[in-house]
Structure 1
Amino acid sequence: MTVGTSGPAPEETGAPGTAAGPGLSASARPDGLPEDLPDGRPVDPDELPDGLVVADETGRVTGFNAAAARITGLAPAAALGRPLDRALPLEDLAGRRWWALTDPYGGLATRTGQPERHLLLPGGREVLVAARYLRARPTGPVRRVVVTLRGTEARRRSERSHAELIATVAHELRSPLTSVKGFTATLLAKWERFTDDQKRLMLETVDADADRVTRLITELLDISRIDSGRLEVRRQPVDLAAAVGRHVQAHIARGQTADRFFVRVVPPLPELWADPDKIDQVLGNLLENAVRHGEGTVTIEVAPAGADEPAECVRPIGRGVPGGPTESAGPVEKSPIEVEKGTVVTVSDEGPGIPEESMPRVFTRFWRGSKRGGTGLGLYIVKGIVEAHGGTVTVGRAPGGGAQFRFTLPVGTPAYLA
């Protein structure tokens, strides 16, 4: 692992520069560090986020930055001038002394370093260590050894996240697949014994469980694309007010009462270009969250970005009847909004809301509220989709005391129409 930015391999750059003390020389840097910052200041190793330890051709430490001191617990003054293997007494996970094992100065002349790996400091603290061997010429003697140190906390958090994802997937798949297998096996073995109504009920259950598995697989694919930055957005004109209406009607069709929802639109809405399928996914997750975890009336407001209209400018669409009769004389003329054009959607409920201390974690993987249920991935996907559109999403407390989710989408007009 090289320390710093790009550039040709140190072995190919000619004679190395002089190793400095805690602040390495900013001129003639064969170790890959930039010579100067954009403002002209020389690079200070203490500004690096990772620990940096440098030894000269004799194996004595000539550089030991602040991050290395923090990770090892050794003061730079105590490390400088000491042999590398004594200043940094590393062992592998089997208890073998690392520098005796790798022998950077006396080993093969073709080696250029050691890849990052887990090693142990005195006392058993685990660190991630990588080394680079710098030579004046290929296969020549080692003139400098550059070592980087990192704590393992971030790596362990990532590993725990992956393990939790696997456990969640296994748990969420087991239940519907067990149901599907049980009902299909029963139908195949005893088809003649069931009435048509019983068969229909079993097949409807299998169909619902298959949909549940499909949704989980879709969520996993979305997470993979979000994490890798490969989430594609296929922009088309989108009517957000109509999309909200469709989702409300779908919840009513599944048994919710019409009075549970209140939709209002603040006109005029700018023309919005977005991915309709992904926006449907965002709306579906937010409304499902409000219905499942919230209480009372679920209010959905669609408004221009930056709009702060008085009450008479609001055009209610009615309780649970999108497109129904209005309750006011219609939209009111207003001056143009002097902000970036876009649309804001707010979803609020009247439940207990989200505790203040939990709000920073709402859009992370596997976050769940007080009520169990679901994979805990929906809001993480909401954030990823909204940000892929160039928008933002926030969570807060609704006027009625419940949770309030608000996302903003820019107009997103394609370049050829701009």
Structure 2
Amino acid sequence: MPAPGPSGAPRPTGCDNRPRSTGSSRVPHVAEPQPSSLQFFANAYPDGTLGADVSGTVTVINDTAARMLHITVAEAIGRPLDEVLLLQDSQGRSWLDYNRPFESINIRTGIPEQSWQLSDGTEVLVTARLVRREPLGELLGVGLGLRGGRGRARLDRERSDLVATVAHELRSPLTGVKGFVQAMLNRWDKLNDEQKKLMLTTVNVDADRLSRLIAELLDVARIDTGRLSIYARPVDAALLVGRVVDSVQAGTARKVVHTVAESLPEIAADPDKFTQVVTNLVENAVRHGEGTITVSLTHEAAGEGLDDREAVVLTVDDEGDGIAPEIRRRVFTKFWTGGVTGGSGLGMYIVNGLTRAHGGRVEVDDAPGGGARVRVIWPIADDEE
């Protein structure tokens, strides 16, 4: 026989999947909440929230919680909590059966966040506060907070991806550094100057890779937390892009073509951040694309690139396979990689974050004749800047 609920009725041992009655005899009328009412403030709360009195009867539930529990506010008010909070754990136990808030000792003040599931498998994160007349006093009721588990699951996946990516990206250069340093320590007297120089040069390159990965991770953290520092001023985009193209061209056999429109206005940018955007885009094109890389700068009037401002458009084209339309939105997510050459998968996420922080926009399209085209639409500097 199931344990009795707080109202004396038998308590269900699992989720009740019976259809909810919508008849007028079961559904009390709920008036539109007034600005001074508890229901009004409950609806203003971003998470799901509901409360029940000491008899286990639902006295308040906001719209968010009602949607999560697949019930209306009118249906929930006045019903037993165990008929509204139809949640189970992996062993088929209900939230009420597992936590028994109405049978708690008087020193218990709350129930920490737990993961529960609706009958359709949707995860719901539930916390509870036991309301007492005074500390250690009589229980008056219970207040519950509900949040969807999808956001936490996404964050957990991102953290796991971050750990895996960092471990993978760190392992390769660290292995090289360790190997060459060990070889020099063991065989220093037997190595000639050219061999020593080669090993030290390789160690230096690997150290640069590590420094760049750490810088990318710090940039991602600043973008995610909104703590990105931007020191924008009028900047000659053609000069900065030209420097990046020359640097990349010096390290690759691929042809990189650079074109600049006449009378190009200055852009409003943090020079270091803009250089980082250009570097990421051109290096990505060299790493993942094929054929000639074309880097161009053009001027677009207000209403063309950005709604209300003139813009300079940086376009990077390659002659590879391009990026399929159905995955273009994923290009700007963390850890996305589009080729077999690997990489941290953070470059395009950083490009998008830095560009948006300046009021710009990034687009991915097909290049003329095939390949991928990435357009960075960047606002020009105002006269007063």
Give the TM-score, by structure 1 length.
Answer: 0.74
Distance 2:187 2:325 in 1: 54
Contact 1:128 1:150 in 2 (8 A): yes
Partner of 1:275: 270
- Tell me, in whole angstroms, the C-alpha distance in 1 between the residues paired with 2:48 and 2:140: 20
Residues 1:177 and 2:146 are matched in the alignment: no
Native 8 Å contact 1:21 1:63 kept in 2: no
Q: Secondary structure at the match of 2:332?
A: coil
What SS does the corresponding residue of 1:118 show, helix, strand or coil?
strand
Offset from partner CA, 1:122-154 (integer Å, 9 cap, x none):
687642013355678888866664433233122
Q: CA RMSD in A?
A: 3.5
> What CA distance in whole angstroms lies between the structure 1 residues aligned with 2:30 and 2:228?
43
1:385 is aligned to 2:354: yes
Pairwise mapping of residues 121-160 of structure 1 onto structure 2 (< 5 A)? 121=118, 126-132=123-129, 145-160=142-157
**Match for residue 374 of structure 1 among 334, 343, 346:** 343
Check if 1:293 corresponds to 2:288.
Answer: yes
- Which amino acid is 2:271 matched to? P
Distance change >3 Å, CA 25–CA 32, structure 1 → 2: closer
The whole-number CA distance in structure 2 between the counterparts of 1:22 and 1:166 is 50
User: Number of aligned pairs?
Assistant: 356
- Check the 8 A contact 1:21/1:80 in 2, yes or no: no
What does the per-residue CA deviation read over 1:103-124, in whole Å, with 9 as the maximum and x for residues that have no partner? 258654894x545432355687
Query: Which deviates the most, 86-95 or 270-279?
Result: 86-95
2:36 aligned with 1:28? yes
Change (3 A) 1:353 1:122: closer
Contact 1:349–1:398 (8 Å) recurs in 2: yes
Question: 1:27, 1:387 → 2: CA distance?
Answer: 38
Which residue is 2:219 aligned to? 222
Structure 1 pair 97–356 and aligned structure 2 pair: CA distance change class (3 A): closer
Q: Deviations over 1:202-230 (max 9, x none)?
A: 11111111111111000001011110100
Letter in 2 for 1:405: V
Using the TM superposition, give the Cα deviation of residue 102 of structure 1 relative to its aligned residue in structure 2, in angstroms. Answer: 5.4
Pairwise mapping of residues 304-319 of structure 1 onto structure 2 (< 5 A)?
304-306=299-301
- Aligned to 2:338, the other structure's residue is in SS state coil
2:312 is equivalent to residue 340 of structure 1? no
Match of 1:284 in 2: 279
- Alignment partner of 1:247 is 2:250: no
Q: Which amino acid in 2 is paired with 1:276?
A: P
Q: Is the 8 A contact 1:55 1:61 kept in 2?
A: yes
1:119 to 112, 116, 121: 116
Alignment of 1:103-114 (within 5 A): 103=101, 108=106, 111=109, 114=111
Assess if the C-alpha contact under 8 Å between 2:52 and 2:81 holds in 1: yes
- Distance (Å, rounded) in 2 between the aligned partners of 1:202 and 1:398: 41
Residue 373 of structure 2 is aligned with which of 396, 404, 418? 404
Task: State the Cα distance separating 1:396 from its structure 2 match.
Answer: 1.0
Give 1:365 deviation, angstroms: 0.6
CA distance in 1, matches of 2:48, 2:168: 40
Contact 2:302/2:309 (8 A) holds in 1: no
**Match for residue 85 of structure 1?**
82
* Amino acid in the other structure paired with 1:29: S
Contact 1:345–1:407 (Cα < 8 Å) also in 2:
yes
Task: Give distance in 2, aligned partners of 1:141 and 1:31.
Answer: 24
For residue 238 of structure 1, report the CA deviation from its aligned partner. Answer: 2.0
1:355 aligns to 2:353 (yes or no): no
Alpha-carbon shift at residue 352 of structure 1 (Å):
1.1
**Which segments of 5 or more consecutive residues in structure 2 lack a partner in the other structure?**
1-27
Q: Is the 8 A contact 1:348 1:402 kept in 2?
A: yes
Secondary structure of 1:33's counterpart equals helix
Residue by residue over 1:76-103, the C-alpha shift from the partner in whole angstroms, topping out at 9 and shown as x without a partner, is 6765533213432556678876446352
- C-alpha distance in 1, partners of 2:307/2:57? 63
Q: Structure 2 vs 1, CA of residues 131 and 21 (structure 1 numbering), >3 Å: closer, same or farther?
A: farther
The one-character-per-residue Cα deviations of 1:24-73 (angstroms, maximum 9, x if unpaired) are: 63243347717xxxxxxxx6x8xx87544343453212455665455445
- TM-superposition CA deviations, 1:322-354 (whole Å, max 9, x none): xxxxxxxxxxxxxxx995133211111121110
Decide whether aligned partners of structure 1 residues 81 and 215 sit closer, same or farther in structure 2, where only a CA change above 3 A counts: same
CA distance in 1, matches of 2:96, 2:72: 21
2:234 and 2:269 in contact (8 A); partners too: yes
SS at match of 1:367: coil
Counterpart residue identity of residue 245, structure 1: G
SS at match of 1:82: coil
In the alignment, structure 1 segments of 5+ residues that lack a partner are 1-19, 35-42, 310-336
Q: More displaced, 365-374 or 222-231?
A: 365-374
| Residues 249 and 256, structure 2, Cα contact 8 Å, conserved in 1 | no
Instruction: Give the counterpart of 1:59 among 56, 59, 64.
Output: 56
State whether residues 105 and 142 of structure 1, in contact with CA within 8 Å, keep that contact through their aligned partners in structure 2: no
